[in-house]
């Protein structure tokens, strides 16, 4: 199998599996209990929290463990704005966000919140000027994705953060700034101080960790209304008995990913350029969506002229090659991608669009084999379309 859908999920690392197995066996006690085995469980969580805090350059008490990226995004938006609803009710985001953000904003809109969905440029990138110009007296939160999950394009998070920080110094403590860093985490700098963010979402299964565990950074002093009530675990911000094994696995995966960032980014950039150069040479009418330079090193979004994405995905699946038509959360939807429509791609072409996303286990040999089979399928499709048009 050649797996090229790493933006949907990554293969768990052997080192991470070993940590999870060990913790499942030995850290079985509830970390909130008062005896020695429970303290061992608590120590495991504390060690994991410290790893994330060091990588994000924040305090350990600013790290909250969640069930994954969707919960982190939901909490990052709902928690602050519900706490600030008597101060203001305006949220700014972009039209190209992940559905975990967009659907959360839509739900809040039904509750009376005012949402501004900013357009992006043709690459799916929003400008800091458009963010600044959209801010009003009642704006309480800005949420912008770091690296787009379908296009790979990078938003100017640091520049937006600097703009909002300057504004808050002269005006007030709002608007707060959240970034969905779920796709960016394996490749980009996550220093929350340099980025100027108040909240950040991360999900472990995007960097070879387990599914079902995520991280939410909440800057100290950020107004926040808990979305999960109960025993008050996670600093009273997210109740529920902690998933010790997966939290430890996530921390291990994050530490390894952070150590390998430069090397992995270089490798995947080379593979990405190999694919793009091949497409440009052999299928020059193919549209490459997203920015080709200001982007994540692992995502290639392609629109083919003569084949539906579903047909191409199925044909490659028969050859044991895995790609997708965008976010795994909306793979079964018959509607064109909202991200592609937000950059101006018409609905018909959007349905001809696929996403190839690379990961740490991909090799040049795999890419060469993939491109050979892709060429065969596209040529076959082109011939079939020609013969059909002649008959008509």
Q: Are 90 and 113 within 8 A, CB to CB?
A: yes
Sign of the Cα pseudo-torsion (159, 163, 168, 169, in order) = positive
Q: Are 195 and 219 within 8 A, CB to CB?
A: no
Report whether the peptide linkage leading into residue 175 is cis, meaning its omega lies within 30 degrees of zero.
yes
Q: Which residue of the set 105, 295, 322, 329 is catalytic?
A: 329
Task: Report d(CA 114, CA 91) in Å as an integer.
Answer: 6
| Residue appearing with tokens 């800057």 | 219
322 is catalytic: no
Catalytic residues: 329
């Amino acid at each position: 199998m050649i797996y090229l859908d790493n933006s949907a999920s990554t293969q768990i690392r052997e080192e991470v599996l070993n940590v999870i197995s060990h913790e499942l066996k030995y850290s079985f006690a509830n970390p909130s209990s008062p005896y020695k085995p429970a303290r061992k469980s608590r120590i495991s969580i504390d060690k994991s929290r410290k790893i994330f805090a060091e990588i994000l350059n924040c305090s350990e008490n600013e790290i909250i463990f969640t069930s994954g990226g969707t919960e982190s995004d939901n909490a990052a938006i709902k928690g602050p704005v519900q706490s600030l609803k008597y101060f203001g009710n305006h949220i700014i985001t972009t039209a190209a966000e992940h559905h975990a953000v967009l659907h959360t904003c839509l739900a809040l809109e039904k509750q009376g919140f005012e949402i501004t969905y900013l357009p992006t440029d043709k690459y799916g990138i929003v400008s800091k000027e458009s963010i600044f110009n959209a801010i009003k007296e009642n704006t309480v939160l800005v949420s912008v994705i770091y690296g787009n999950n379908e296009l790979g394009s990078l938003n100017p998070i640091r520049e937006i953060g600097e703009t909002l920080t300057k504004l808050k110094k002269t005006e007030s403590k709002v608007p707060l700034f959240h970034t969905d860093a779920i796709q960016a985490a394996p490749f980009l700098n996550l220093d929350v101080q340099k980025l100027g963010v108040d909240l950040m979402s991360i999900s472990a299964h995007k960097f070879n960790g387990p599914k079902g565990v995520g991280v939410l950074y909440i800057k100290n002093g950020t107004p926040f209304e808990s979305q999960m009530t109960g025993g008050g675990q996670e600093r009273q911000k997210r109740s529920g008995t902690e998933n010790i094994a997966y939290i430890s696995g996530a921390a291990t995966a994050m530490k390894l990913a952070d150590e390998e960032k430069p090397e992995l980014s270089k490798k995947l950039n080379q593979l990405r350029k190999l694919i793009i150069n091949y497409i440009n040479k052999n299928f020059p009418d193919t549209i490459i969506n997203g920015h080709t330079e200001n982007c994540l090193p692992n995502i290639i979004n392609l629109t083919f002229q003569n084949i539906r994405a579903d047909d191409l995905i199925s044909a490659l699946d028969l050859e044991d090659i895995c790609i997708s038509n965008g976010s795994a959360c909306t793979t079964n939807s018959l509607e064109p991608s909202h991200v592609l429509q937000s950059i101006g791609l018409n609905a018909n072409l959007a349905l001809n669009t696929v996403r190839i996303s690379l990961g740490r286990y991909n090799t040049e040999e795999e890419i060469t084999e993939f491109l050979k089979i892709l060429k065969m399928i596209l040529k076959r499709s082109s011939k079939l379309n020609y013969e059909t048009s002649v008959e008509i």
